Chain A
Amino acid sequence: MEHRTSATARGRAGEEAAARFLETKGYRIIARNVRFRTGEIDLIADENGVLVFVEVKTRSGSDFGTAAEAVTGRKQQQLVRLASLFLAQSGSLARPCRFDVVAVEPAPTGEFACTLFTNAFAAR
């Protein structure tokens, strides 16, 4: 449990860093940690009228591959399903939207370094 808690805490800290990073990029954060029965969407933002579903992936190091690599096809499909749920509930199925990924990795300064992948994947 100890380990799990620290991983969750690191994840939350990463999401916080990612949200601040996206705001500097002109994204307006609409919602955080939107939970559904099958999972959660880390961040939902609005960028110039486009609804953006953001997956934040935090890694403490690259021993197990980079953060961006960790968003596998399966995770992508889960996000697609969650996004359709969200759109259905908010009644805006035909809104322009996309999926972004923010990779958060510790920088040498002790801060977080964020990398943004716009339109990282699509539904299939």
Chain B
Amino acid sequence: MRVLSFALEGIDAVPVVVEVDVSHGLPSFDIVGLPDAAVRESRERVRAAVQNSGWAFPAQRITVNLAPAHTRKGGAGFDLAVALGILAALGHLQSSALAGVAVAGELALDGTLRAVRGALAMGLATMRERATGLILPQASAREAALAGCAVYPAFHLCEAVQHLSGAAPLAPVIPLAAAAESPHSPVDLADVRGQLVGKRALEIAAAGGHNLFFVGPPGAGKSLLARCLPGIMPPLDQEESLEVSRIHSVAGALSGGTLISCRPYRAPHHCASRAAVLGGGTPLRPGEITLAHQGVLFLDELPEFGRNVLEGLRQPLEEGKVHISRANGSVVFPARPMLVAAANPCPCGYLGSAVRPCTCPPSAVAMYRGRMSGPILDRFDLHLHLEPVPYDCVATTSPPAEPSAAVRSRVIQARARQRARLRETGLTCNAQMAVRETRRFAPLPAAGEAMMRQAVDRMGLSLRAHDRILKVARTIADLAGAEAIEVPHLAEALQYRAVDRAV
């Protein structure tokens, strides 16, 4: 007896054929095919669920094989496939009824079905495998239907059996239309007083997909500005939305059964472990960097993050994906967020502040800075010093600030220019350009060369920093609607290198 089900691997569902054999001999119930503890425990759930749904559990020798036998299988999602296989082997169900149908679901002891992780990925895999339909727990069905396959929502084991036998066919779920675009972030730029330089940097970062690093005293509005970023980024397109939804589905965090239409915003606390940020654990789950894919990953108090976490971020940020290698195989999760980080200039927070004197001994400042390695700071295209907002901006009489929607429309235009220019390279924004593309698409004007030479000499810029400045200048030019980088664009880009100057 063969039943098609799925195992999760990264953000993909891979087909697993559940084979059930019932024969005479000493009564036993074995599951083979590298099951983990949760799969082995499925025996007790299946036994109870079958009995409590009104069938006698056979006193026979039951062998379940999960093929392919060489990959490790985890989770409780095979329960339904095992139960249906046994019922079919006992003749309660025609074996032909199971042909071409995929099933997944965790069984409760009374036979009701519990939700599974990664239903959307299973829906996509159902399409890929050309299965005629997918039977899922009611709680997961809507999510899988987004993939476009026929999904039959079963509340109970009996419903699944009656559907397959044709006694009481279930109606396929109708996928919900994507929710009307909700207000992107709970904070609008119009609510942020002052900080014009910060807002400008935010706009440039959003337009070019640049990573952004804020340094400033407590209360300068670093976190608030970061929170505004998803709201000024262009909306997710269909493909991105499906990819983001799939990631959150695998993480078990897709609610409501609709595609995610807002860019994700993730702000892990600085005590987060390496596995929490980069992905890991058993079974493997995507980390914060993957959950923030196509959105914003905000690391507040950057120096407080564990060194292994920060260094672990370097390679994924370059590649746009995380490789997690384990003894039994490796998994790749997509990871292309915009990284925004914030830090105080020193432990007390007031170094270089005009308002209050800093109380830190120089050694403490050096140690604090030392926690952020050069290579990680190098990943940020824009570095910015934020100063506390003067009272003039806070006063209710000050003119209202520009709303996010206005900024966003400029960002969308700038992105469209970039995409048109980068079309043949397959890249989508300036920040993704490598050395060769930077040379080709971001040439400096003659007057700019002189300025750049001076900056490189005086600030001691590395070649990588030089390229980053070019990319930012290119984005600034795009925002201005200019075909080529001009001197003012370069001058502005040079301002966003706060770390390269002694503070």
In the complex, the answer to whether B29 meets A87 with C-beta atoms within 8 Å is no
A residues lining the B interface (CB < 8 Å): 50, 80, 83-84, 87, 93-99, 119, 122-124
A47 to chain B, nearest CB (A): 11
The contact sample of 14 A-B pairs, CB cut-off 8 A, is A80-B26, A87-B26, A93-B25, A94-B23, A94-B24, A95-B24, A95-B25, A96-B60, A97-B26, A97-B59, A99-B27, A119-B57, A122-B28, A124-B30
**Which B residues are CB-close (under 8 A) to A80?**
26
User: Which among B25, B28, B30 has the highest number of chain A CB atoms within 10 Å?
Assistant: B25
- A residues in contact with B26, CB < 8 Å: 80, 83-84, 87, 97, 122-123
B27 x A94 contact (CB < 8 A): no
Question: Which residues does chain B contribute within 8 Å of A96, judged by CB atoms?
Answer: 24-25, 59-60
Of B29, B30, B59, which contacts A98 at CB under 8 A?
A: B59
Which among A50, A93, A95, A122 is the interface contact of B29 at CB below 8 angstroms?
Answer: A122
With a cutoff of 8 Å between Cβ atoms, the chain B residues found around residue A119 in the complex are 27, 57, 59
- How many residue pairs between the two chains, A and B, have CB atoms under 8 Å in the bound complex? 40
The CA of A123 and the CA of B59, in the complex, are separated in Å by 10
- How many residues belonging to B are interface residues under a CB distance threshold of 8 Å? 12
Q: Bound complex: CA of A84 vs CA of B61, how far in Å? A: 13
| Minimal beta-carbon separation of A91 from chain B (angstroms) | 13
Contact of A124 among B23, B29, B57 (CB under 8 A): B29
Counting from the closest, the 4 A-B pairs by CB-CB distance are A98-B59, A123-B28, A122-B27, A119-B59
Q: Shortest distance in angstroms between B233's beta carbon and chain A's nearest beta carbon? A: 55
- Chain A interface SS verdict (over half): mixed
Q: Which residues of chain B have C-beta atoms less than 8 A from A50's C-beta?
A: 59
Quick one: given A119-B59, A122-B59, are A97 and B29 in contact (CB under 8 Å)? Answer: no
B116 to chain A, nearest CB (A): 26
- Contacts A119-B59, A122-B59 known; A94 to B28 CB distance under 8 Å? no
Q: How far is the CA of A87 from the CA of B25 in the complex (A)?
A: 9
- Of A94, A99, A124, the residue contacting B25 (CB under 8 A) is A94
- Tell me, in angstroms, the Cα distance from A86 to B457 when the chains sit together: 91
User: Residues on B close to A: CB < 8 A?
Assistant: 23-30, 57, 59-61
Q: Please report the C-alpha to C-alpha distance between residue A95 and residue B57 in the assembled complex, in whole angstroms.
A: 18
By beta carbon, the residue of chain B nearest A100 is B59
Of all chain B residues, the one with the shortest Cβ separation from A96 is B24
Say how far B180's CB is from chain A's closest CB, in angstroms.
54
Assembly CA distance A87 to B27 (angstroms): 13
Closest B-chain residue to A124, C-beta based? B28
Q: How far is the CA of A73 from the CA of B86 in the complex (A)?
A: 25
CA distance A122 to B60 in the complex (A): 9
**B27 lies within 8 A of A98 (CB):** yes
Q: Which of B26, B29, B59 has the most C-beta atoms of chain A within 10 angstroms of its own C-beta?
A: B26
- Report the nearest A residue to B23, measured CB to CB: A94
Nearest-CB residue, chain B, relative to A118: B59
Q: Which residues of A contact B25 (CB under 8 A)?
A: 87, 93-97
CA distance A95 to B23 in the complex (A): 9
Complex Cα–Cα for A98 and B56 (A): 14
Output the least CB separation between B41 and chain A (Å).
12
Bound-state CA distance A97–B28 (Å) is 11
* B24 neighbours in A (Cβ, 8 Å): 94-97
A95 to B27, CA, bound (A): 10
Task: Give the residue name and chain of the A residue nearest to B29 (CB).
Answer: A122
Query: Which chain B residues lie closer than 8 Å to A95 at the CB level?
Result: 24-25
A97 to B25, CA, bound (A): 6
A99 to B60, CA, bound (A): 11
Q: How many Å lie between the Cα of A96 and that of B27 in the bound state? A: 8
Query: Residues of A contacting B29 with CB < 8 Å?
Result: 122, 124
Name 10 extra pairs, CB < 8 A, besides A97-B59, A122-B29, A124-B29: A80-B26, A93-B25, A94-B23, A94-B25, A97-B27, A98-B27, A98-B59, A122-B28, A122-B59, A123-B27
Rounded to whole angstroms, the CA-CA distance of A122 and B59 in the bound complex is 8
**B-side contacts of A98, CB under 8 Å:** 27, 59
Bound: A50/B59 CA distance, A? 10
B192–chain A nearest beta-carbon distance, Å: 63
Q: In whole angstroms, how far apart are the Cα atoms of A123 and B30 in the complex?
A: 9
User: How far apart are B48's CB and chain A's nearest CB, in angstroms?
Assistant: 14
Nearest B residue to A87, CB-CB? B26
Minimum CB–CB distance from B387 to chain A (whole Å) comes to 69
Closest to A123 in B: B28
Nearest residue, chain A, Cβ from B43: A124
What's the Cα separation between A28 and B77 when bound, in Å? 43
Q: Which residue of A lies closest to B27 (CB)?
A: A122
